[in-house]
Amino acid sequence: MLYMVEMIVQIPQSLDPELAAKIKLDEKEYSQKLQRQGQWRHLWRVVGEYANVSIFDASSNDELHTLLSGLPLFPYMQIKVTPLANHPSSIVQE
């Protein structure tokens, strides 16, 4: 099942800069692992914001929740999830 996931990152100014750098590095490694596994299909940056729009492929809502809650930046994110369905006019069906 495909999901559009919008993420806005809000790291507190008070967070230790070294800890923030470590969390960001862990986030990059985790996100790239999910991309290589085909679960994180697309990742786009939102221009001018610390935010992204992504497409995830997960077998269920529960699996998606597990993937998202595993993000090291998860505690600092606002996340909006939209389940996607095939459009009847699309020439590509997933």
- pTM for the model: 0.92
Name the token pair of 40.
């994180």
Count helices and strands (H / E) in the chain.
2, 4
Domain count, the chain: 1
Task: Name which residue leads in pLDDT, 61 or 94.
Answer: 61
Residue type at 45?
Answer: R
Which domain covers residue 52, as residue numbers?
2-83
Name the token pair of 8.
């806005």
Instruction: Decide: 83 and 1 in contact? Cβ < 8 Å.
Output: yes
Residue 94 lies in a domain: no
Residue 88 lies in a domain: no
* Cα–Cα dist 32/29, whole Å: 5
pLDDT per position as a tens digit, 28-59: 999 999 999 999 999 999 999 999 999 999 99
Instruction: Decide: 73 and 23 in contact? Cβ < 8 Å.
Output: yes
Q: What was the pLDDT predicted at 93?
A: 73
